Structure 1
Amino acid sequence: MAAEQEQRQEYKDDSDVFQRNALLLIDKMVEMASLIQEDTSELVDEILHSIFFMGEITVPEFSPRQLFVDDVDMFDYLKETYPEPFTLYSSRLPRRSPFSCVLDMVVHLEGQEHEDNIRETLQELVQELKRDTSKNVLYSTTICISAGNSADPVRHYGVSMSTTGRPAGQILVAASCLNFWEEHVADAVMSYYPKKSRKTYFDVNIQLPADVRCEAFNIRSREAISPCLSCKNMFGLVTTKEQVWPYGNCAEAESLSNLVSEEEVRQRVQRNGNWTEENQGRAKRAVENHLRNELKKVGFEWDNQFYTAQRAIAENDGEEEPLPE
């Protein structure tokens, strides 16, 4: 009886944190979008779907209506302005984790060249999300910054997976491999995913040019973090660390995916191992099969499509929709 009560209390505590952090992130995204001259409504749309999906697979479940139970005006405003996430969160998969959308919004807000401002803004946000809880719910702990070389003014950012627990992490790493990350990076992750042992039939990694900058930092403390052994195995990063984190969870994957998407850098990346189109197809099928199994565990009925972010209806109509008071 005592164990059951403790478990129920833990579920309640987790639910309270999930709801608080979800609402805080959504509110921050709407606020930041209003401060940016260019149209970033697709990022608001995307994070709504990603968070609603996370609520769908969490225990206990959290529907959009339950999230906004104390703020009906905001619920109505968001549903009218961003209708797709409210209808497709229970059938389509997000392509990435919620905090990845937050990162993109912050980069738009501060400007990609203002590295210190981006890190400071994320630090302040994470400190607010972390308040009064020991669990990392809906936010990342690490940011990675990469560039074509030390003199390159263009930075490429990435954050670690903002998920709690195995099912969500496994699902979103698979989704990113199949529909978000650049092919070279996705292939390196798929060489291991979902295990920590390398596939013999698809033993693929990449070697970055020697002058590429790739640095990771703790978001809260802002201290530099050495690459883990997983990132060394996938991307050839130099490290003395022996820690092997789940492949694809680290911030380096997203940051390097953005970097290698640049044609000039990609041409200088060396792909090692037994890569063939046939082997790649086999690895993708293995990832998708594992993804389907993970989705079955959480009772998610996937329609075989990944969610595509939409612009706000008010923006498309050329009208400005006032935020609820």
Structure 2
Amino acid sequence: MEIDCDCGPEKAKREETFLEKENIFRTRAFIIIEKMVNWCADPRARLLVDEVLHSIFFLGKINNPSFSPQEIISDTELFQYFEDTFPQPFKVYSYQLPKRGPFSCVLDMIVHLKGEQNEEVIKENLRAFKNNPRLGKGKHLLSSTVCVSHTQNGKRYYGVSMSANGKKPVKIIIAASCLSYWDNDVAGAVMTYYPDKTKNKSFDGTITLPPYVSCQAFTISTGDRKDPCKSCKDLFGLSSEENKEWSYGNCAEAESLSNLFKNEPTVKEQLQRKSVRDKDRKNAEESVTVHLLKLLGKPEFYTPPMPVQKKT
């Protein structure tokens, strides 16, 4: 009997390529942390650094292969500095879930530093960040798309696509965002199709935007406009001829519209919604929670601690 032993040069090359790609996670994670720390100049920025540390450590834990905080921050002195300065992410990353992906924190930091009104500057900074050759190739921890939403008042609200890589991490972060971070209308729309792109027969939380709301996505690396995908048409009633369908909640439109809804109560009042009973929504939330339990275990969400004000 002949045995097909896949242990020759081709297998070794595949394993080498796999490890090289996976090591990008560790390299990229450290570069993101390094950049966020360099930008940190006030309490708001400090919260974002704390949050990005936790989000990266959590994703490192569930990555294949997994990476510990010590492997991501391999320098002993630097590791001690981060653990002393931002202790909470190190303590709870293994069992508390991030509410969003790490690149959302990068986006928030850039908006915080540059001002929400400076749309082109923000997009240019995101593009420069993502196109940094030190980050290498691959999808780990980076978003491909940014979305900008606004109404007649002109105030901009930004969002990026999911910066988790792989089916399981993406589903975990989408579920966490639905249950703990996104505006309830965005969460309701996404839960209508979570987790398998199949519409819930007993719950329809999809919405249609008022005509005066602009919601435009762009490819971060080039700045080119992107039409909404089929998923975003289904969720938010956006107009497009695109038939590509991503995981519902993966796209930048979800985060951008969530930020708009949180800050514009008039828009919330004028959304076109389906008639949804509270009981049906609760059942949908329970269904998302059950799926999250299957993926990970008991969902407990992370909130960065408020910085302690030093006495003068």
TM-score range normalised by the length of the shorter chain: over 0.9
1:15 match: 22
Could you tell me how far apart the structure 2 residues matched to 1:290 and 1:52 are?
Answer: 22
Query: For the Cα contact (< 8 Å) 2:103–2:160, is it kept in 1?
Result: yes
CA distance 1:10–1:39, change in 2 (3 Å): same
User: In structure 1, what is the equivalent of residue 147 of structure 2?
Assistant: 144
Alignment of 1:293-304 (within 5 A): 293-295=294-296, 302=298, 304=299
Quote the residue 2:107 is aligned against. Answer: 103
Once the two structures are aligned, what percentage of the paired residues are identical? Answer: 40
Q: Is the 8 A contact 1:143 1:218 kept in 2?
A: yes
**What is the letter of the counterpart of residue 260 of structure 1?**
F
Q: Which residue of 1 aligns with 2:53?
A: 48
What is the match of residue 75 of structure 1?
A: 79
Match of 1:267 in 2: 269
**2:52 is aligned with 1:57:** no
Alpha-carbon distance, 1:163 to partner: 1.4
Q: CA deviation at 1:4?
A: 4.5
Q: Is the 2:24–2:135 contact (alpha carbons within 8 Å) kept by the matching residues of 1?
A: no
Q: Which residue of 2 aligns with 1:317?
A: 310
Normalised by the length of structure 1, the TM-score is 0.90
The residue number in structure 2 matching 1:305 is 300
What stretches of structure 2 of length at least 5 have no aligned partner? 1-6
Instruction: Tell whether 2:93 aligns with 1:89.
Output: yes
Partners of 1:130 and 1:139 lie apart in 2 by: 13
Quick one: distance in 2 between partners of 1:55 and 1:4?
25
CA contact (8 A) 1:129 1:139 kept: no
Q: Please say if residues 187 and 280 of structure 1, whose CA atoms lie closer than 8 Å, have aligned partners that are also in contact.
A: yes
- The RMSD of aligned alpha carbons is 1.6
Partner of 2:3: none
Take 1:281 and 1:189, find their aligned partners in 2: how far apart are those partners? 14
Higher relative contact order, chain-length normalized (CA < 8 Å, sep 6+): 1
Whole-Å separation in 1 of the counterparts to 2:238 and 2:171? 23
Q: How does 1:1-325 map to 2 (within 5 A)?
A: 1-2=7-8, 4-34=11-41, 37=42, 39-69=44-74, 71-128=75-132, 131-133=135-137, 135-149=138-152, 152-261=153-262, 262-272=264-274, 274-295=275-296, 302=298, 304-312=299-307, 315-318=308-311
CA distance, structure 1, for counterparts of residue 300 and residue 205 of structure 2: 27
Once the two structures are TM-superposed, the CA of residue 268 in structure 1 deviates from its matched residue by 1.3
Structure 1: gaps of 5 or more residues: 296-300, 320-325
8 Å CA contact 1:143–1:219 kept in 2: the answer is yes
SS in 2 for 1:222: coil
User: Residue 323 of structure 1 corresponds to which residue in structure 2?
Assistant: none
| Native 8 Å contact 2:58 2:97 kept in 1 | yes
> Secondary structure of 2:65's partner?
coil
